[in-house]
Amino acid sequence: MADPPSILSPPLNNNDQLPSQSPITTISAAIPILLLVATWYFSVKRSKSRAPPPPGPRGLPIVGYIPFLAGDNPLHRKFADLAAQYGPIFKIWFANQMFVVVSSPDLTKEVLLRGGQNEPIFSTRGFPAAAGVCTYGGTDVLSLPMGHDWKSMRKLLVRETLSNPALDLCFPLRRRELVRSLREVISNELVGKPVGVYELTYKIVSNATLGMLWGGEGDQFCFEELRVVSQEVMEINSRPNVSDMFPLLARFDLQGILKEATAVAQRLDWVFSSVIERRLEGGKLKKQGEGEKRLKDMLQILLEIREDSENAGSSSLASMTHLKAILQVFIFSFSI
């Protein structure tokens, strides 16, 4: 009796061969596996070579420890309580940004002085997203990361604008503004009337600073605009911004802070541009008299340095933007 036909495939003969896969298909299947293995290997190796982060409180997903900082207790006292629990150095998460808090004077000195000389990360400070708009893209000495540009600008400020000879040249300007303010106090209009010491001191410091910067040139509207704009810049930079906690959302500007900062920065740039153009159109300052030192302000010194840098091909003041950024540092430092 004959065997029934088999439903299976017929047996292979010696001359038959199995179908082989293409080399491209094999390589394509192996590449993802190799990438996963390499990623796992380097991540494990990197985690072992790096020191573990300091201890700190656990936060919530997405928002981190921000909800626990709300309340009537001041922030510095909450940090003091965390330092008593976790030690003088601890980490804390604000959204997806990790911050390290150093509360001990000895550790602070170790981090800022010794660590700052060897590790640029300790000397480089982060700044809000709105500050990048208000500081000409972070080109001032307060926002620049530690490097050649920062060292050059700092050297320029220390040697040329804040040195004793430069401050001596600005002394007549400071004295003039002080005398002008005192004359207003003792004028007939204010005799017998109360004078606000805070407002008077603020006005004297503001006028003296503006006199040092550009000799008090310009109309009163320009000065008042500068005071208002500088206060608005400080207020905008102090607001809590979602873009600072989530850098990926900075491009969307959910709170409209970047848009507002751009408008304020344009007004501030208009003030600087107006004063600089007026100085360039009027030419350099003339001598005040025979045997007297030439009266110079900060703007005149910076313009002369920029002119010398252009002639020598140096990069001390590469553009007018750097000059405006330096003027802005003085404005914010004296809180005009």
pLDDT in tens, 167-177: 888 888 888 88
Predicted TM-score of the model (pTM): 0.69
Count Cβ atoms below 10 Å from residue 149 Cβ, excluding itself: 15
- What type of residue sits at position 303? L
% pLDDT > 90, the chain? 13
pLDDT greater than 50 at residue 285 = no
Give the pLDDT score at 262.
Answer: 94
pLDDT higher than 70, residue 295: no
Measured between alpha carbons, how far is 210 from 213 in angstroms, rounded to an integer?
5
Mean pLDDT of 245-267: 90
Average pLDDT, the chain: 78
Which pLDDT band, with edges at 50, 70 and 90, does 292 fall under?
very low
* Residue 39 reports pLDDT greater than 80: no
55 against 40, higher pLDDT: 55
Query: Is the pLDDT confidence value at 266 over 60?
Result: yes
Contacts for 139 with CB less than 8 Å, ≥ 6 apart = 321, 322, 325
Q: Where are the domains of the chain?
A: 66-123, 135-333
CATH code assigned to 135-333: 1.10.630.10
Does 115 have pLDDT greater than 60?
Answer: yes
Task: Specify the pLDDT at position 57.
Answer: 94
* Nearest to 244, CA basis, from 142, 140, 131, 146: 131
Rounded to whole angstroms, the Cα distance separating 268 from 225 reads 8
**Cα–Cα distance measured from residue 81 to residue 55, given in angstroms and rounded to the nearest whole number:** 14
Alpha-carbon torsion 121, 124, 127, 133, what sign? negative
- Reduce the DSSP state of residue 110 to 3 states and report it: helix
Mean pLDDT of 45-73: 83
How much is the average pLDDT of 95-109?
88
Q: Position 109: which residue type?
A: K
The pLDDT of residue 226 is above 50: yes
Cα distance between residue 205 and residue 210, in whole Å: 9
Mean pLDDT score, 70-74: 84
Name the band, by pLDDT with cuts 50, 70 and 90, for residue 290. very low
